[in-house]
Amino acid sequence: MTAVVLALAAAGLLFAVLAWLPNSGSTLAIVFSGLMLGCLTAAAIVLLTGHGVEGWREAWWNILLLLAGPLAVSGGGPLTTSVLALVDRGNTRSQSTQQAGEVLRGGALIGALERGAIFGSIVAGWPEGVAIVLAIKGLARYPELRAPDQPASVTPQAVAERFIIGTFTSVLWSVTCAGILLSR
């Protein structure tokens, strides 16, 4: 069981890296993100049907930590852009939502830092850190969410929608990656 979980985590990390190569939101990026999500889901199922990581040697748990941390940070970006691309498909306001990404500049770096901080705080046993990270992000982004000088092609609703969907996707991904490590 340990080998299967580690192999699935490693495959998920590989798909996360591959998901960064094509254009964000492209069909190939969405496929890689789906495969990455499938690997994490399969690892979770294997852990939940067994005894989780309880009884694992510390060295194997440390290897899982070294796989799950980078997976949480690197995999959340392509997954978030894939979710946003799927939301935009068939949406008459998709142009506005896509351009909202220009208003919320630095989203990829902020998202990576957010996922790393959330992953670290959960693995360290300090879930209050999630609330602190989200409060800091919300307060820091508030001026951009309410800025009156946005381009005419971007509605404030599109900016807020992109912020909420991106944040929820990113947070859920990092929490899930941390949950793999804490399964018992």
pLDDT at 98 (0 to 100): 54
Domain ranges of the chain: 2-181
pTM: 0.86
pLDDT at 162 (0 to 100): 80
Q: How many of the other CB atoms lie within 10 Å of CB of 70?
A: 17
- Helix extents (H) in the chain: 2-19, 27-49, 58-88, 94-103, 107-123, 128-146, 156-181
pLDDT at 173 (0 to 100): 96
Read off the pLDDT of each residue in 163-169 and give the average, rounded to a whole number: 89
Read off the pLDDT of each residue in 78-103 and give the average, rounded to a whole number: 68
pLDDT at 74 (0 to 100): 94
Least confident segment among 15-19, 126-130, 146-150, 175-179? 146-150
pLDDT at 109 (0 to 100): 86
